[in-house]
A and B are shown apart, each in its own frame.
Chain A
Amino acid sequence: MLETTPQTLVWLTIAGAAAVTYSLRIGGLLLAAKLPKTGPFKRFMDALPGTILLSLIVPAAVAAGPIGWLATVVTALVSLKSGNIFISMVIGIVIVAIGRWYGL
């Protein structure tokens, strides 16, 4: 029988979490290499980066309240006009920080 001291459990948990996470990362890449490169599969994979990114943004922006909506729109506009990711990001953060400071 494996002795389950608290130390063993700590390392077991970390090792398990690491194994699961790495499997997902490498698994997605290796699975995608096996998918067909034409037709609907290709269109699905081509669209995926944009839709994942959008899914990361929208609920978080909605949850950030009116000041978050404003900051998201301004960040988007600055990014579209200037193409500068750094500037657009900083402006968005500053808007939210100022808004929070004044309790908006």
Chain B
Amino acid sequence: MHQKLWCPRHLEMITSRQFDDLRAGFNANLVVAASVGAYGSVLGLMAAQKGLTWYQLLIMNLSVFAGSAQFVMVDMWLPPLPVAEIILAVLVINMRYLLIGASLNPLFQSTSLRHKMGFMHLVADENWAMTMARFHKGGTTTWFLLGGGICVQSAWCCGTLLGHRLGAVIANPERWGLDFSFVAVFTALVFSFWSGKRDLLPWLITAMTAVGAEALLPGKWYIICGGVAGALAAAVLHRGPGNA
């Protein structure tokens, strides 16, 4: 129950299966990590212009580890720092992690609290999506999630620091379609969750709610609105045998 996650003695006890999952998770996220790195370099450049030092940026990466929230933080970075406003903005943008964290519950079933607390920090949209898709298809472990998190976190740190020291590696990622890479990876994964015709109506409701909310509400509320509306519809509509 109380495994010592971060001490060397435990590291020796990582089984080869766990290590394989860790490596598979890392590899699965490599392509999207390239885009993460390119966007990181844009953030790094912005941060340098706003007067953040490289180590402040690095510690922000390691501790906050949330792309869109960090862009907003750096955007609001004007002295004297509006501490409360920035933290509130981060709370609102990252609210979706409440849902994302909740959806990971089946994967973390029968793991210790210490394991949960250690592994949840490196959850980003990208490695979450990769892990859930694999979990639905044939099952995987939290190590796959962690491997992806390490991959994305490494790319994020390298990209931001490179951008901070040398300027943006790719000044305009949109020109190369890199903004689309996030849509592309999520689109490639979404059908793993399609369980048949009964999903049609909940998914239509999701899409319409998300588009409507995106037009009407600021920030990232549309993810929560669309996700909750669709899942509520499924909870109401999916009654019948096998869905108890």
Which A residues are within 8 Å of any B CB, using their own CB? 6, 9-10, 12-18, 20-22, 24-33, 35, 38-64, 68, 71-72, 75-76, 78-80, 85-86, 88-90, 92-101
Residue from the set A21, A64, A75, A76 with the largest chain B CB neighbour count within 10 Å: A21
Would you call the interface of chain A mostly helix, strand, loop, or mixed? helix
CB of B185 closer than 8 Å to a CB of A: yes
* Contact, CB under 8 Å: B101 / A26: yes
| Minimum CB–CB distance for B182 against chain A, Å | 7
Classify the secondary structure of B's interface with A: helix
**Does A41 contact B235, Cβ atoms closer than 8 Å?**
yes
Docked-complex contact B87 and A20, CB < 8 angstroms: yes
Contacts between chains A and B (CB distance < 8 A), count:
279
Stretch of B121-129, B150-158, B159-167 contacting A (4+ beta carbons < 8 Å):
B121-129
Known: A20-B91, A53-B186. 20 other contacts (CB 8 A): A10-B56, A24-B101, A27-B101, A29-B116, A33-B105, A39-B244, A44-B235, A47-B199, A50-B203, A53-B129, A55-B226, A56-B125, A56-B223, A58-B210, A61-B187, A64-B183, A79-B189, A85-B188, A92-B184, A97-B176
Chain B residue at smallest Cβ distance from A78: B188
- CB <8 Å contact, B102 and A45: yes
